Structure 1
Amino acid sequence: MAAVFHRIDRFDALPEALRGGVVAIGNFDGVHRGHQAVLNAALEIAARESRPALALTFEPHPRAVFRPDLPLFRLTPAPMKARLLKAMGFSGVVEQPFVPAFSSLPADQFVDEVLIGGLGVAHVVTGFDFHFGKGRGGTPATLAAAGKANGFGVTVVEAFADEGGEVISSSRIRALLAGGDVSQAAGLAGYRFTVEAQVTGGRKLGRTLGFPTANMSLPPETALRHGIYAVRFRRADGSLHDGVANFGRRPTVDEDGAPLLETFLFDFSGDLYGETCSVSFFGFLRGEVKFDGLDALVTQMKRDEEEARALLSSVRPLSKIELAIAFSS
C-alpha cells in the first residue's frame, strides 16, 4: 500500500508522527533540478536516519506578498508542487501561510517557534542563498549556529549548475516557457512543464470540426507562449492520453477571447467536464496563426495531429518525478 502523503496548512498543525524529521526549506517553485539537489539531500539524510522527510514551503509565494504589483508566473502552484514532492518520496509538505505576522518573525523566533517548537526538526536542509526571518536576517551561517546550539543538524547545498555551467533557476525556466521552448525548460526542470485545472464547457466548435477539445482556464499570470503543443493529458482517474493542445486566444474563431488551453485527445471519446486533469507539454509545434476560414484551420489541425503523434511516439521519462506524473497510470 502506498505511503500516505500529508499536506499540512501550517507549521503548528504537524501530526505527531512527522515530528523529529528532516526538513527541506524553500519556495521550490518549479521543483527544478536545482531544487531537487536540496530536496534529494533531505531525502538521503532521512533515509539514512530512518526519519520522515518533509518540505517547508510558503503560500502564497513571498514575492506575491512583497511585490503584489508584479504578477508572478507560478511554475508549480501548491497542488502541483505537492504532487511532485510526493513523487520524489517525501512524507509531507507544510504549506505555511506567508502572511505579514509570519513574515515579521525575527530569525531567532523562527528557529524557536517554527523549527523547534512546531516541527521538532532533527535536521534542516536549505540552499546556499536561503534567508529567513524579519528583514531576511537569518542566513545559512546563523541557521548552522542555531542548529549547533539547539541540537539539530544543518546542511547547506551549493548552487546547482546545468551542463553549460549556468545555475538553474525558476526565472530561467519561466523565460524559456515564455518563448515556447518547453524542451529546454524540461531539461532544466528534470520533467516536462505540467499544468493542472478543471475541464470546463466551451462553445463546442472543435466538436463540429472533428476535433473535440478539453478546455481548461489557466491562471492569468501563466506566461507560456501562445501556440500549438504536443502534450500528454492525465485524467482524474490517472489514465493517460496523448494529444495536441492550443494555448492562446484562438485568433481564427475568437480573437478577443481570454487565453484558454484546449486539448484534443487522440483516440478518445467521453465526457471530461468537471474533472481536474493535468497536461504535460512535450514539444512546441508552431505559433498561433489566424487562418483564412475554418477549412484552412482544419487542414492545419490534421497536420498538427500527425506531428504531435510522431513526436510523442518516442518520448521517454526524464526522471522519477516525470515517471509518476506523465508516464504511469
Structure 2
Amino acid sequence: MEILRLEPDEQGIVAWPTLSEDKRAVVTIGSFDGVHRGHQAVLARAVELAHTHDVPSVAITFDPRPGVVHAGLERDTQAVMSLEQRLELMDQAGFDYALVVRYTLAFAARTYIFFLGQLVGKLGMRTLVLGSDATMGKGREGDIAAIRKLSGATGVFELDVVDDFGPAGIYLPREVQYVVPEAGAGYEGVNGIESGVKSGIESEPSNPLTGMTKAQLRAWSKKQRSVAVREYSSSMVRFLLARGCVRDAAEILGRAHSIDATVAHGQARGRELGFPTANMADIRGFVPVDGVYAGYLTVLGSGERSGSGSGERYAAAISVGVNSTFEQDGSRFVEVYCLDAPEGFDIYDASVRVEFVSYLRPMVTFEGADALVEQMKRDVDAAREALEA
C-alpha cells in the first residue's frame, strides 16, 4: 500500500494526486479510529468493489482527528489507536493507497459538494463507500441523504452505503469517565495488606449496560447526560476500556486493544524486586483504566541497545496506574513484565505494541516491597492462566 500525506493550503484546498490515468478509483473516507468491526465492514466493501471493477482502492483518513482540531486541543489523549496502526490495518485490508490529510479548520470549512467534486475531478473517484452515519463538509451537512441526492443528480459517482452500526440504541456520557472496577468474586480484599489480593480471570469486569431493561437504560442515560452512539464505535470502545472491560472492547474491535509506545529507562525498581519491567513512554493509543492486566508485548522496532529482534512477541503482565507503594507524585504509568523473556532481555529504546487481553485486578497500595513481591508472583500466575484460557 502506498501512503501519501497531503497538506491543505490556507484556503483548505488539497492538491489531490492523480493515481491512475485510465482507471476509476473506489474511495472510502473516515477517521477510522480503532478500525473496529464497523470500520472493517466499510473497508472490506471498498476493497471488494475495487477488485470487482479492477480499479484502485483508496482510503482517505485524517491526522489529527477532526474532533481534536474542532476542540482546539494540542494533544490527542482520546485516540483509540495510533495513526501508524490505522494505516497498518488498512494495508492488511488490501488497499492500494492511503491518503492522510492534515485536518485543518480551513479544510473543514469547505462544503461537502466542493470536497466530493475535488475527489471526482482530481482523484478520479467513481464509487464512494461510506458507513451509514457518515457526515462530511462544512457544518457536517454532507450526510448520507445529501450525498445520495448529489450522486443521483450528477451521475458522476456512485454511493455505496454499508450498515456498520452494530446493535443500536446505545447511550454513553459525553466525556470519557474512568471508573475503577469494584472488587468482585476474584478478590479477597482490596487493601492488599490484611487479606491479600487475589488475581484471576473470574475478575474480568463487563459492560455495565449489559442486561439493563429499557427503563433502566433511559434512567441511566438521563443521569449520565448521555448521547446516542453506535455499539460499533470508537466512543463505545473508549467507554469500555475506561472501565477495564477489555474483553468487551475486543469484541467490538475484533482483536485485543493495544497501544504503541517506546521503552524508556525507569528507576529499575522492578528489576531490584526480581520483576524487571519495561516502562512505556511516548504512548500512542487509549490507555485503559488503572489496574493489572494480562496481555502481550510485541517488539515493533529495535532501539540502538535493544537485545530483541523486531516481531518477537511475549506474554506479559501489565500494570497501569499510579505506583502509590513507592511514588507520591500521582504520575500515571504503564509498565510491562514479560513472563518468559530470555536471559539478557533488553528492549530499551525499542518501539513496542502492548495488547490488553484480560483485566486481573485493581491497583492497591502495599505496606512495603515484600508484600508487593508476593502479589506480583500471584499476578504472574493469574496472567498465565488468563492467557492460556
Please give the range of the TM-score, normalised by the shorter of the 2 chains: 0.7 to 0.9
Over alpha carbons, which structure has the higher Rg? 2
Cα distance, 1:137–1:160 mapped onto 2, change above 3 Å? closer
SS at match of 2:60: strand
Cα distance, 1:196–1:220 mapped onto 2, change above 3 Å? closer
TM superposition score normalised by structure 2? 0.74
Shift of 1:150: 4.8
Which runs of 5 or more residues in structure 2 are unaligned? 7-13, 171-229, 301-309
Q: Which residue of 2 aligns with 1:262?
A: 335
Report the structure, 1 or 2, having the larger helix content: 1
Which runs of 5 or more residues in structure 1 are unaligned? 315-329
Residue 3 of structure 2, aligned match among 2, 7, 19: 7
Any idea what the Cα deviations from partners look like across 1:43-77, whole Å, max 9, x if unmatched? Answer: 22122122232211111111111123697511022
Q: Which moved more, 1:280-289 or 1:144-153?
A: 144-153
Q: Which moved more, 1:285-294 or 1:70-79?
A: 70-79
Q: Which residue of 2 aligns with 1:322?
A: none
Residues 71, 221 of structure 1: 8 Å contact kept:
no
Q: CA RMSD in A?
A: 2.4
Residue 350 of structure 2, aligned match among 263, 270, 275: 275
CA distance in structure 1 between the aligned counterparts of 2:36 and 2:311, rounded to whole angstroms: 23
Shift of 1:164: 10
Q: Which residue of 2 aligns with 1:324?
A: none
CA distance in structure 2 between the aligned counterparts of 1:43 and 1:152, rounded to whole angstroms: 17
Q: Which residue of 1 aligns with 2:322?
A: 249
User: Letter of the aligned partner of 1:31 in structure 2?
Assistant: V
Q: Which residue of 2 aligns with 1:79?
A: 84
Shift of 1:221: 8.6
Q: Which moved more, 1:157-166 or 1:239-248?
A: 157-166
- Work out whether 1:158 is the aligned partner of 2:172: no
Cα distance, 1:26–1:221 mapped onto 2, change above 3 Å? closer
Provide the aligned length of Structure 1 versus Structure 2: 309
Query: Which structure 2 residues correspond to residues 123-142 of structure 1 after superposition, within 5 A?
Result: 123-142=127-146
Q: Which moved more, 1:239-248 or 1:13-22?
A: 13-22
Residues 36, 253 of structure 2: 8 Å contact kept:
yes
Q: Which residue of 1 aligns with 2:372?
A: 297
Q: Which residue of 1 aligns with 2:384?
A: 309
TM superposition score normalised by structure 1? 0.86
SS at match of 1:12: coil
Shift of 1:146: 3.6
Query: Which structure 2 residues correspond to residues 35-184 of structure 1 after superposition, within 5 A?
Result: 35-68=39-72, 72-113=77-118, 115-148=119-152, 149-162=154-167, 167-184=231-248
SS at match of 1:75: coil
- In the TM superposition, structure 1's runs of 4+ consecutive aligned residues that sit over 6 Å from their partners are 163-166
Cα distance, 1:225–1:105 mapped onto 2, change above 3 Å? same
Any idea what the Cα deviations from partners look like across 1:158-206, whole Å, max 9, x if unmatched? Answer: 3422499973221111111000110011011111101001111111111
